[in-house]
Amino acid sequence: MITGQTPILILKEGTERQQGKNAQKNNIEAAKAIADAVRTTLGPKGMDKMLVDSIGDIVITNDGATILKEMDIDHPTAKMLVEASKSQDTAVGDGTTTVVVLAGELLKQAESLLEQGVHSTVIASGYHLAVTEAKKQLDSLAIKADDEETLKRIAITALSGKNTSVAPEFLADLVIKAVNAVAEERDGKVIVDTANIKVDKKNGGSATDTQFISGLIIDKEKVHSKMPSVVKNAKIALINSALEIKKTEIEAKVQINDPSKIQEFLDQETDTFKEMVEKVKKSGANVLLCQKGIDDTAQYYLAKEGIYAVRRVKQSDMEKLAKATGAKIVTDLDDLTPDSLGTAEKVEERKIGDDRMTFITGAKNPKAVSILIRGGTEHVVDEIERALHDAIRVVAITKEDGKYLPGGGAIEAELSMKIRDYANSVGGREQLAIEAFAKALEIIPRTLAENAGMDPINTLIKLKAEHEKSNKNYGINLNENKIDDMVKLGVFDTYRVKQHALESAVEVASMILRIDDVIASKKSAPSNNQQPQGGMGGMGGGMPPY
């Protein structure tokens, strides 16, 4: 700028800007902090996190996606890792911690290359070459999954990292039953829609009281005490309109001058409800599930006719019921015909804990099933639910893919060795980045060993020695603290989970590496009645040190 000239202001006053190496360093540090926060939860011997929100609600878990979702993270780069974890959870249901830990380690390895003068775009390019090679190697290392026992071992591996050590085999059997029940074959391929597996939870009992229901559970009771508690050979009507008298959209008044007309008016209202119930009865239905409300008078007449009725059923449950029972969801009672009814062997009300629930079993097409989780406390039940979510997803995608991988860090150790060999064939500066990728992969077996109380350096040395001898299925036996054959032990990882985790980690790491300028607008001050809230675990409170 020439002396005496007025400076040109492009950004608003209060905007903070960080450029070049400072911006890169700051972003890498934020990502490493997030990775370190969840690293101790990795594997079956991982520790749990207790997360307390601003109103005192507690979540106890070691599920990576849940931890990051519950933490009040404010740093923009850290949020990118949270998004990668969410993407992993949405796409494949497991491996959320692996993605974050691996991305953090890739950035840590990139940091030393940046200090040596390697450009960030070269590092990102090398990482992409490495992950492409890694995916090719995964295909060659995959083992065919062709029996129920393999699926059970995959379920147990997914459950082992959560607080389900009390009954992993029992819960794994329930998962296999549920997945097999909803699996369908289309065009020669197996398709498993896990949305058809409904998971409900109730406090009380123990984890071994969890049960598989070949049908659906509705977390609602019958609307009238005089209705039957059990209906066999149920003919089910699904209605998404209210059994109530509609109110006018415009403001209206009914004026009655003659007192004798009051009873006539009330009788007319009652006749309307009688007519509604008569339409249900005429269709042949003995069970009515309504998405909206049912008036008290209508409830009385339904009970009088011996019809079991439930109101305010969720739309998602209505859709599952339609699929399971063969019923059609009707919007108008006039359209309710015998053809629109679904069938089930039994509909009954059962008391579970302090609540009453409706069980619909023996449906003609049980392509929608339920699992009812039980546990001593709310926190136990919630963690079992998260564990079953992961297990159901990994078993489903293994059934679809028909292949799996050895677990216990075996895949990462083998890939690390193969990628190092591949790096020598590439040459140039990308070779350094590919070698850094190979080294970053070792963070998974290293962390598994650390979390189990083993010596991470000695464990890695022994693991590498076995893989040098072409023992590609050897990983860490965390129960006996030694290196062992993971296939013989039955410790299996899911092929698609591992593939997606590698891709996501490289994508988010590359994106963060390519940022060399951070422009942060000034945050608006909170209003008088809105107090700023602090974050959890030191992750909130602005974008330090931007």
Active site residues: 63, 96-97, 390
State the Cα–Cα distance between residues 210 and 195, nearest whole angstrom. Answer: 19
b or e along 99-123 (b: 16 or more beta carbons within 10 Å of the residue's beta carbon)?
A: bbbbbbbbbbbbbebbeeebebebb
State the Cα–Cα distance between residues 416 and 131, nearest whole angstrom. Answer: 11
**HEC secondary structure over 8-41:** CCCCCCCCEEEEHHHHHHHHHHHHHHHHHHHHCC
| CB contact at 8 A, 356 and 219 | no
Nearest partner of 344 among 232, 265, 497, 189, judged by Cα: 232
Q: What are phi and psi of 53, to 5 degrees?
A: -90, 180
Report the SS3 class of residue 363. strand
Which amino acid is it at 101? V
| CB contact at 8 A, 270 and 316 | no
State the Cα–Cα distance between residues 265 and 287, nearest whole angstrom. Answer: 30
Q: What are phi and psi of 331, to 5 degrees?
A: -95, -20
- Which residues contact residue 414 at a Cβ distance below 8 angstroms, ignoring those fewer than 6 apart? 137, 141, 467, 472
Pairing, β 215-218 against β 355-363: antiparallel
How many CB atoms are located within 10 Å of the residue 7 CB? 5
The secondary element (H helix, E strand) that includes residue 78 is helix 76-92
Helical spans, DSSP H, in 287-429: 296-304, 315-325, 378-401, 410-426
State the Cα–Cα distance between residues 216 and 199, nearest whole angstrom. Answer: 9
State the Cα–Cα distance between residues 215 and 368, nearest whole angstrom. Answer: 6
State the Cα–Cα distance between residues 56 and 66, nearest whole angstrom. Answer: 17
Beta strands in 57-103 (DSSP E): 58-61
Classify residue 59 by its DSSP letter: E
